A and B are shown apart, each in its own frame.
Chain A
Amino acid sequence: MSSSPTEVKEPARTVEITMPQMGISVAEGTIVEWRVRRGDLVEADQTVCDVSTDKVDVEIPAPASGTLARIAVEPGETVEVGTVLAELAIGDGEAPSEDDRSRVYSPIVRRMAADNDIDLEQVEGHGIGGRVRKADLVAFLEEHEGARPERPLHTESPYRPEPEPTAVAAAASDLLGPTQREPMSAMRKQIAAHMVESRRTAAHCTTVVEVDFGRVAARRDELRPRMADRGVNLTYLAFVACEVVAALQRHPILNGSIEGEEIVHHSDVNLGIAVALEDGLIVPVIRRAQQLSLEGMAAAIGDLATRAREKLLTPDDVAGGTFTITNPGQFGAVLATPIINSPQVAILDLEAVVKRPVVVERDGEDAIAVRPMSYLCMSWDHRALDGAEAARFLGELREGLEQGRFES
């Protein structure tokens, strides 16, 4: 009779890791990379893989602690929400004291196994984590001497087809000098596809107005300290966003989208704000922006930008936009012709606010004054509207920014 104490062990079972529902707008995801390998010990909530959706990248956490028993979906594969991605082995009855390395082989072990036609799964390892050491394989070979599987009767034909003639490299590549290649990231591929598609379908036109930001600047200086006390950073962008929302409600066509041969009008203004990331660009959306005050708008922009840079956006954060503002002016550019974020019909580009000499009228006299100026460039889809409408919208936007009272 055994005198060893009875241990209460959790029965061995398997837990599936599935493609999660990452927001109502997401139906499928692509595995970008597995962070763990088969046999690795995984802790609950540890990130096991990265999934890319058509919106954002998401880290998938382990649903429980255990050993990764199987990976079902390889990197690059796209599967529907709910699909099993991997399996975790839970509670195998042994304390998971060290990594299971029984199926990790050193170069010499691999080579000896290949030379001797050995299936390494049959060899018991006695190294750290159950590693099959060279010594274990030598012992196994000695034990099984002569017991090797017979050679198959059929021998593969030595015939090999002629290799395809390799194309002669173009002379231009010789002139290019040394190059390096890297695969496009998932984000870059998405941006590329989306931009090319928009260029292909939308009839792009760009209209530009010049805006005097003097009044905005003054109001901003006035409101800024109080808002800062409340943790809100008041930017020119917030003023522009508020005026855009107001103007959009008077020009609903610019808050629409094109689906096939229909124009869809949206009741809400869901304002997309383009945020530059280290490796790309993302457009989180401020939903029902028409309900926001200037301070609410500034807070929403700050929150989205922060979460975008920290990669904390959910797929729903970037879905459902009806109009987009892009703001690369912070880097000093003064003019651009952006590509429409289709199926939206327009995108507004806010460039740098810079001091310029302009002619102003004061008391009926023309004078030259130094004013903080900027260009607002809007690309719009000629399929949905015409130039006069775009110019009217921009004109009202300018007037709003130059004359507005800007209630906080």
Chain B
Amino acid sequence: MAELTYLEAISDGLRTEMRRDESVFCLGEDVGAFGGAFKVTDGFAAEFGTERVLDTPLAENAIVGAATGAAIEGMKPVCEMQFADFIACGFDQLVNVAAKLHYRQGQSVPLVVRLPSGGGFSGGPFHSQNPEAWFLQAPGLKVVAPATAADAKGLLAGAIRDPNPVCFLEHKGLYRRVRGEVPDGEYTVPIGEARVAREGGELTVIAYGSSVPLALAAAEALDEDIEVLDLRTLCPLDTEAILASARKTGKVLIAHEATRACGVGAEVAALIGAEAFEALDAPIRRLTAADVPIPFSPPLEAEVLPQLDDMKEACRELLAY
């Protein structure tokens, strides 16, 4: 067991899987010689050679398309989008080709797309988005979004071993700010299982990614009986864990950094409203980014993205309800 940052845990997970299975390889812009924009694949080219750590042109559609072809041929590609925002250029290959091959032809596509997402660093509208909801409307894709170092490693390994295309959302704000104990060697976290990050009885905060540490910090600061459920996988949702926690506390706040409309929060709220209505003691509330592009200006960005004070206030309001 070693203490790693979230970023190191992703590297560790990828390296471990590449050592374990020769069919695993990674590709993307500057992943080889440069070691990746955020240094996730630093040293990979030296260890695995440039045939397994492929520098590609600036062409996301080609990256995802080539990876899809390799996956069909039995390889296990791990694509890196330099920023999650850029997946828009590779969307057709991902959503229309990779996601639908199994449905159309029974063809498994064991493909992983790593998506460095999220804001909070004045990256502006093209480098700060949380595009997970885009993928949730493309049946055939799985979507994971770890919040801890251990989950980052375990879910990446789980995604690589999964026979379906998996979108792996790694929040840039957590890269160096989150660190934790990570099991050594091979380690996987099952896709589709949420995790109770903090036990409580009066209010459930359902979160994922960067909103999990925010929710935990708010719960500690308020010193209230708050449960924090870390979704970890956004598709397929762990409906059992969501409903169990909602039924236990009767009050639910769903928090994510992604924009509000038609987001994960809306889906989770609809699920709870439909299946756990009689257990509710308060309206289901959401804490999300505003439905606007992410501004460059630091004070404006702080206004748009949920902050600790917003989380505390949202919790207080529901606790008092």
Contacts and interface: CB of A to CB of B under 8 A. Distances in A.
A135 interface: yes
A127 B320 contact: yes
Contacts of B279: 107-108
Interface string A128-168: 10010111000000000000000000000000000000000
B321 A108 contact: no
A108 B276 CA distance: 10
A53 B282 CA distance: 40
Contact of A107 (B202, B277, B320, B321): B277
B280 interface: yes
A108 B250 CA distance: 7
A105 to B, nearest CB: 9
Nearest to B279: A108
A131 B277 contact: no
Contacts of B250: 106, 108, 134
A266 B279 CA distance: 68
A134 B278 CA distance: 12
B281 A133 contact: yes
Contact of A106 (B202, B280, B320): B280
B320 A108 contact: no
A124 to B, nearest CB: 15
A111 interface: yes
A131 B279 CA distance: 16
A108 B202 CA distance: 13
Contacts of A106: 250, 280-282
Contacts of A108: 250, 278-281
Contacts of A111: 278
Contacts of A253: none
The DSSP consensus for interface residues of chain B is loop
B202 to A, nearest CB: 6
B321 A134 contact: no
Interface residues of A, number: 11
Nearest to A134: B281
B321 A133 contact: yes
Interface string A110-131: 0100000000000000011001
B278 A109 contact: no
Nearest to B247: A108
A128 B281 contact: no
A127 B321 contact: yes
B204 to A, nearest CB: 13
Most chain A beta carbons < 10 A, residue from B250, B279, B281: B281
Interface in B195-243: 202
A133 B250 CA distance: 10
A106 to B, nearest CB: 5
A281 B39 CA distance: 73
Contacts of B202: 135
Nearest to B249: A134
Contact of B278 (A107, A131, A135): A107
Contacts of B320: 127-128
A135 B225 CA distance: 12
A97 to B, nearest CB: 14
Contacts of A135: 202
Contacts of A109: 281
Nearest to A131: B321
Interface in B280-321: 280-282, 320-321
A193 B320 CA distance: 52
Contacts of B280: 106-108
A236 to B, nearest CB: 51
Contacts of B281: 106-109, 133-134
The 7 closest A-B pairs by CB, nearest first: A134-B281, A106-B281, A107-B278, A108-B250, A108-B281, A134-B250, A108-B279
27 contacts: A106-B250, A106-B280, A106-B281, A106-B282, A107-B277, A107-B278, A107-B279, A107-B280, A107-B281, A108-B250, A108-B278, A108-B279, A108-B280, A108-B281, A109-B281, A111-B278, A127-B320, A127-B321, A128-B320, A128-B321, A131-B321, A133-B281, A133-B282, A133-B321, A134-B250, A134-B281, A135-B202
Given A108-B280, A128-B320, A134-B281, 10 more contacts: A106-B282, A107-B277, A107-B278, A107-B281, A108-B250, A108-B278, A108-B281, A109-B281, A127-B320, A133-B282
